[in-house]
Structure 1
Amino acid sequence: MSKAVKVDEDAKSRLEELQAEIRLRTGESVTQQELLSRLIDDAYGDKDDVVDSFRESTVPLSATEKEAMGHGRFSSGVTTEEEDIDEILYG
């Protein structure tokens, strides 16, 4: 059973480019439906990556985000040793 899926012009253009690239590199012609099915199968195997791509924030932070976190920081003048942290955390 075939259903129509609407895609924007940019996505349609990239799909056509992929289709042409497959034809050039392999000599095989594939339909856009075959190509979309393959892409969906591949994405289905990496569900976590696909889901994560729709999250508002990403980890790790970008260089710009890291730099923004550094603004406003200041030194208290106190040196903290690893033992101090252990004492605070573990008593």
Structure 2
Amino acid sequence: MDDETKERLERLQAEIKLRTGNRVTQQEILTRLVEDAIESKARLIDSFRDERVPVSESEREAFHAGTISSGVVTREADIDDILYG
């Protein structure tokens, strides 16, 4: 871990103590960050892409506004059957 990252982790540790009154180790912070990253894995993976196209919040909302539910639940096995027979 580089010095700047270590310093940022120490500042985060101090802020947690200040705001919650609880002492936490840097290992606890890293463990929690990894757990959170796993829950939002797609966002983490995207953050490592070479190129990202910025999309405004209004463009994102417009995209999702056109999304409708067909009412049919599609399982992964269904997709595999369609693609691979």
2:67 corresponds to 1:42? no
- Any stretches of 5+ residues in structure 1 without a counterpart? 1-6, 62-91
- Secondary structure at 1:29's aligned position in 2? coil
The count of aligned residue pairs is 56
Q: 1: CA distance between counterparts of 2:11 and 2:38?
A: 22
Q: What TM-score do the two structures reach when normalised by structure 2? A: 0.62
Q: What TM-score do the two structures reach when normalised by structure 1? A: 0.58
Q: Name the larger-Rg structure.
A: 1
1:31 maps to what in 2? 25
Q: 2: CA distance between counterparts of 1:35 and 1:49?
A: 19
Q: 1: CA distance between counterparts of 2:54 and 2:18?
A: 37
- 1:59 Cα shift? 1.7
Identity %: 56
4+ aligned runs moved over 4 Å, structure 1: none
- Any stretches of 5+ residues in structure 2 without a counterpart? 56-85
1:57 maps to what in 2? 51
